[in-house]
Structure 1
């Protein structure tokens, strides 16, 4: 049997209509959505299928919606006999990976990320923080530049190392604006502002971490059944106490996604990476880490069928 790694997308991948095609076709997916609505006590299905997009994009809605989408599709995959040998997620997606590894139960994970979203929203005043993607510049130059700006009083941090040539910075709005000009001067091809509501994965999220830690202490976390590569360390984690500690740190630490993919590839145990959930962003990042890597992005019955045809051939 072929060996696959599951990858789960993070915030920004949400869009109205996601997972609806699976919902209409699969009774088990309907049951997952019913459980989610009971756990969250919000009409998450209506938000996901009908919008409006602005409401779905709010952090406290987007996070459980994306987790629900990924978990529902992962269930469909497992019902079709697909079991990953390892998993990882981008930021919020790490919670989806932990659900797939049975370290977290879906109901608890949904409530946890709903709270996480609220904590992230209130950690720093709306409109005062910002994030931007830096294209075509090395991490060393970017790190030195943001340190230089931070020393002058505006906080800016490296937030995501997505793939070679794409690094995201996060911090105060003014700090990111200053960094944008400085990084262009230093050779960045482009610096693109991101449509987010706060300075995620920066030191400015630390006020939310202590409250998140209290929520995690109340959550039933189990040892993971498969290796889940953590954002903070880019290394596999199994132990429930380590999972808990890393989820707290993840809130204000950079997402080491490029390194995570390299480490998963280096394990020598994967025939393909399968993006489970809405969008194809992570599949694209994987190919930028190694263009010869086989990837699939499963977000509707058609993409599922194409993947299963490959997965089961010569089985």
Structure 2
């Protein structure tokens, strides 16, 4: 890390699945908490209830999980920028699935209120699609993505509906599709050498063609929001390419509903092409930090999910000036 010129910082935001009951409690009373009230006004939902008192079952519901996670990430980002000036002008932003919306706000491409509107519409649309066409998802460990793609193709060739939805690291990917097809593909993955398969309790086939019914409703909201130029690129899930606010994010976000999340490639782009030397994960948990360690171990990593982690940011990092992409 070049301390003299400041870190080449990438902000990364986790998605649905990172949420936990009571995850907002450490942040109550802090300056950034005002965003919770603002989000409640915009969405018409009691976001404070979701962040402070909702139980695991309530937070598992797609619309609740997405709104609560997004708003908490915005609260944390506000606090982070006070402690780490470089977070105000990152080299690049990226988010995993839902986290892409937080990344767009962090990069100045969409405003906070529009972000709330989009996440609310997305969560509602995806919940409706799950109800109409239930699905399942499962994490597969220890098997290269091309091997898992082969297993999924074999199941589809026999009439099943299963796809590789998340390419998270060289040895971790996520299956998504109809429950029986996911189970069949998981069995084939085990025969091909997978070390472990873990079901994800979501009730829907995210990032597959089964989410297509959610696109029209999300598209209506996308048509009404304002896209700004922004001050940093966002690496898109659908193709792992850095995009500015002037790019067609409306079509990208619609495609994201049914396309796989190319997270491994996204991390490599940030590390190798944009030469980032510090990844800061903003939000609950530390999933993306762990993935980054496997994909780009040469890059330094920080996790900010609780206020106590802010003072722990190393002084040379805190005091370094912000940088931006040339």
C-alpha contact (below 8 Å) 1:126/1:198 kept by paired residues: no
What's the TM-score once normalised by structure 1's chain length?
0.95
Is the partner of 1:206 in helix, strand or coil? helix
What is the correspondence of 1:258-277 to structure 2 with a 5 Å cutoff?
A: 258-277=264-283
Of residues 170-179 and 54-63 in structure 1, the stretch that sits farther from structure 2 once superposed is: 54-63
- Kindly state the Cα deviation for residue 241 of structure 1 after the two structures are TM-superposed: 4.6
CA distance in structure 1 between the aligned counterparts of 2:42 and 2:245, rounded to whole angstroms: 26
What is the rounded CA distance, in whole Å, between the counterparts of 2:259 and 2:50 in structure 1? Answer: 30
- 1:62 to 2:62 alignment: no
Q: Secondary structure at the match of 2:311?
A: helix
Task: Decide whether the 8 Å contact of 2:237 with 2:261 is kept in 1.
Answer: yes
Q: Which residue of 2 aligns with 1:34?
A: 37
**Map of 2:147 onto structure 1:** 141
Residues 111 and 268 (structure 1 numbering): CA distance in 2 closer, same or farther, change over 3 Å? closer
CA drift at 1:249? 0.3
Counterpart CA distance in 1 for 2:215 and 2:208 is 11
Question: Given the alignment, which residue of 14, 37, 45 partners 2:19?
Answer: 14
Give yes or no for contact 1:127–1:197 (8 Å, CA) kept in 2: no
Measured in 2, the distance between the counterparts of 1:299 and 1:91 equals 18
Asked if the contact 1:159/1:167 (under 8 Å) is kept, the reply is yes
* 8 Å Cα contact 2:267-2:296 kept in structure 1: no
How far apart are residue 239 of structure 1 and its match? 3.5
Kindly tell me: are residues 101 and 195 of structure 1, through their superposed partners in 2, closer, same or farther at Cα, counting changes over 3 Å? Answer: same
Calculate the aligned-residue CA RMSD, in Å: 1.6
CA distance in 1, matches of 2:146, 2:247: 32
Contact 2:109 2:245 in 1 (8 A): no
**2:81 paired residue number:** 78
Shift of 1:126: 6.5
What aligned pairs does 1:204-283 form with structure 2 within 5 A after superposition? 204-283=210-289
Question: Residues 166-187 of structure 1: CA distance to partner in whole angstroms, max 9, x if unpaired?
Answer: 0101000110011111111111
Runs (5+) with no aligned partner, structure 1: none
Task: Note if 1:191 corresponds to 2:197.
Answer: yes
Q: TM-score, normalised by structure 2?
A: 0.91
Residues 86 and 268 (structure 1), Cα distance of their counterparts in 2 relative to 1, 3 Å cut: closer
Query: Which runs of 5 or more structure 2 residues have no equivalent in the other structure?
Result: 1-5, 322-326
